[in-house]
Structure 1
Amino acid sequence: MNNDRLRGQWKQFRGKLKERWGRLTDDDLDVIAGRREQLLGRIQERHGIAKEEADGQVKEFERRNPDFRFDGS
């Protein structure tokens, strides 16, 4: 996926991410900026879960939102 498209989609998906992982802050989302590893780390940190659990949650999110894939997925 090219960077322009990823950036455009990222703005749309910020709200969905905050709905799914409510403890993520706007600052977290700015840091994540569509990068999968950053998302996993922030989910782990904010929600106090293991990396494997965070990865499973992100995969499920991607399955439910097939138009979006994180950079590095």
Structure 2
Amino acid sequence: MNNEKLKGSLEQVKGEAKEQWGKLTDDHSKESEGKMDKVKGKLKEGYGKVKDELKR
């Protein structure tokens, strides 16, 4: 697992936590931030996978 895939996974976990916190506190802004963080994390993880494939 390269650095980008790891960062992406962590970003997704952070996003999920923010989203759940936003739902719990009825904070739509935090919920949206969490969803965006999850999307950014998926993009980073995908970039890391592509990077790995290009190295082979």
- TM-score band by shorter chain is 0.3 to 0.5
* Structure whose residues are more often helix by fraction: 2
Please say which structure displays the higher CA radius of gyration: 2
Which has the bigger relative contact order, CA under 8 A and spacing at least 6?
A: 2
Q: TM-score, normalised by structure 1?
A: 0.31
